[in-house]
Every structure is written in structure tokens, then in C-alpha cells.
Amino acid sequence: MQILGIDIGGSGIKGAPVNIADGTLAAERQRVPTPSPSTPDAVAGVIRQIADNFGGTGGPIGITFPGVVKNGRILTAANVDPAWVDFDAATFFSAKLGRPAVVINDADAAGIAEARLGAGRGIAGTVVLLTLGTGIGSAVFLDGKLMPNTEFGHMEVRGKDAEERAAERVREEKDLGWQEWGERVGEVVARLAFLLSPDLVIIGGGVSRKADKFLPVVQGMVKVPVVPAQLQNQAGLVGAALVAAEYAAPA
């Protein structure tokens, strides 16, 4: 079965049909820059564009969002337009797209994909995934069960939100070298290791493709194993599709 997954980010919106059985993409992923301002109507227009590009039968669609999501309602929106706060995104997208829409926190979606099909598969105990992008998202699993909406990207590190020091956006804006940025990421991981004593930390986001450039620095600062996401930057849309597939499954 194929389900369309959409991953809303602060800088780009990505989408592709996903083969639910193994998490592979059934077509080449499409990416469109996140509109500015990133209002609900503007974002819905981009998602409609991506959905129309892939066609399909009008079945359910899984959509990630970079903020706290409860029962399809957005509660926080740190890296997109504030009009999203306290917004019923699931109902809105369902109406705009003419098909059932399931909305989930972006890092939680990526974590679900990695826990079921990627680097966290079969790992017992506490697993933490961090997505490094415009901000820092987090997902925490205990024996494979998600503890949603953890938002450790807003944990304080050196007097700032962690994502204001160690997001991929910060590396690019400040033109940080891999060593210096790796040390910043390592500080975030070390703080999480102190608080949660995880058995594994997974680093996701597009920068995970370059894990060899900074993960050795991070690993040198902590005892917990730190590994790159196997699904890399498509983990979010794969996880969104997996969640939507559960919505579509018969009771």
C-alpha cells in the first residue's frame, strides 16, 4: 500500500508517496520552499500542489508539523507563522485537500520511521532522535513506544535554546566549521544524556548525510552510542505516511 507523506519544515515542504511495507519512496521526492509568510492557507496551497503532482486516489495523507501537535491541533509554532498556534490543522487540511489528513509533530514522525524501519529498529530501552534543521526537533521512545511532543530543541544550553546554538541553520548562518558545530551538537547530546540516560541517540535531518564530518566529534563527548538516521531527511515524510496508514486501517 502507498500513502502520501508530507513533511513541513521551516525552509522547505517535502512530499512523496511511501510504500508502507518497507518505507521506501514510490516516486522521487518533491521539495518546495516553505512560503513566506508560512500561513495555513499558503502552506495548504503548497501541499495541494505536491499532492496533485503525485495524483492518487484521494486516500489519507500524513502531514508533519514543526511544533507540538495534539489530536491534530497545533499548540506551538516556533519556526513558522504564529497563525498556526491553537489551530486545528487536521480539520483544515482535510477540508482543503478533500481527503483525510493526519497531522503529527515532525520529529515524532521521523522517530517513528527510524524506530520501525531504521536505526532504532529492535532497540530496547530509551531511544532519542534529534532532527537538526531550521530548528532541533526531538522524539523519545521507551521500548519502542513514543512519548510525544518532547521539544528538547528548546532545552536551555549555555543560556539559549539548544536549537539557537546547534541547529543546522545556525551552522550555516555562522559559517561554523564541522569541529566547532560538532562540539555544539555534542553539548546538546550530553545534556540529554544527563537528563534521560538513553541507550541510543539518533541524529536525523538532512545533515545526517554528512554524519562522518561531525558525529565523531559528538561521540567523543558522550558515552551513549550516537548514530545517523538510516532514513536521513526522508524519515519525517515516511513516518507521517506510516501514521496515516494506521488511520486508514480497519478497526
> In this predicted structure, what is the pLDDT of residue 56?
64
> In this predicted structure, what is the pLDDT of residue 212?
97
> In this predicted structure, what is the pLDDT of residue 192?
96
**What integer is the mean pLDDT of 138-162?**
96
- Bridge partners (DSSP) of residue 156 are 161
pLDDT at 177 over 90: yes
Average pLDDT, the chain: 94
> In this predicted structure, what is the pLDDT of residue 169?
95
Diameter over CA atoms, the chain:
51
> In this predicted structure, what is the pLDDT of residue 58?
73
**What integer is the mean pLDDT of 115-128?**
96
DSSP 161-189: EHHHHHSHHHHHHHT--HHHHHHHHHHHH
Percent of the chain with pLDDT over 90: 91
**What integer is the mean pLDDT of 76-99?**
94
> In this predicted structure, what is the pLDDT of residue 248?
63
> In this predicted structure, what is the pLDDT of residue 233?
87
- Report CA-CA distances (Å) from 227 to 116, 212, 231: 16, 10, 12
Q: How far apart are CA 231 and CA 111, in angstroms?
A: 10
Q: How far apart are CA 98 and CA 101, in angstroms?
A: 9
Going by pLDDT thresholds of 50, 70 and 90, the confidence category of residue 247 is confident
> In this predicted structure, what is the pLDDT of residue 249?
61
Q: Which is more confidently placed, 178 or 10?
A: 178
Q: How far apart are CA 129 and CA 200, in angstroms?
A: 8
pLDDT in tens, 193-219: 999 999 999 999 989 999 999 999 999
- Report CA-CA distances (Å) from 160 to 115, 165, 201: 29, 7, 22
Percent of the chain with pLDDT over 70: 98
Alpha helices (H) along the chain: 40-54, 89-97, 106-117, 162-166, 168-174, 178-196, 211-219, 235-248
Coil, helix or strand at residue 6: strand
* pTM summary value: 0.93
Going by pLDDT thresholds of 50, 70 and 90, the confidence category of residue 162 is very high
pLDDT in tens, 46-70: 999 999 999 866 789 999 999 999 9
Q: Is the peptide bond before 37 cis (omega within 30 degrees of 0)?
A: yes
Q: 72 φ, ψ to 5°?
A: 80, 0
Residue at 105: amino acid letter: N
pLDDT at 145 over 60: yes
